[in-house]
């Protein structure tokens, strides 16, 4: 899975969790919580959806790595590679 595919996957999850948020102009290198009205529960929902939809476990120690879209892609690409995706 490519960086862009991982970013799209995260954006799809955010769109489901926070349907009122405009995700069309998010900057990939700026913290998601600084650009949108996401609270800690929304962030946990993103982590839970990654596990449910894609069998990706994100330990709490790694949560900060998912703060930006770029960070999500950097974190998820190797995880999907491990799964053979």
Instruction: For residues 49 and 56, give the distance between their C-alpha atoms in angstroms, rounded to a whole number.
Output: 9
**Tokens linked to 65:** 């790595």
CATH code assigned at 44: 1.10.1200.10
What are the tens digits of pLDDT across the range 7-64?
Answer: 999 999 999 999 999 999 999 999 999 999 888 899 999 999 999 999 999 999 999 9
Structure token pair of residue 57: 């476990």
What is the domain count for the chain? 1
**Does this model's pTM top 0.85?**
yes
Domain assignment of residue 7, given as a range: 3-20+28-83
């Amino acid at each position: 899975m490519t960086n862009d595919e991982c970013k799209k996957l995260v954006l799809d999850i955010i769109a489901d969790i926070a349907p009122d948020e405009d995700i069309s102009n998010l900057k990939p290198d700026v913290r998601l919580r600084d650009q949108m009205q996401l609270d800690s529960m929304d962030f946990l929902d993103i982590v839970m959806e990654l596990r449910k939809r894609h069998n990706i476990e994100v330990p709490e120690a790694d949560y900060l790595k998912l703060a930006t879209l770029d960070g999500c892609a950097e974190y998820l690409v190797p995880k999907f590679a491990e799964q053979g995706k």
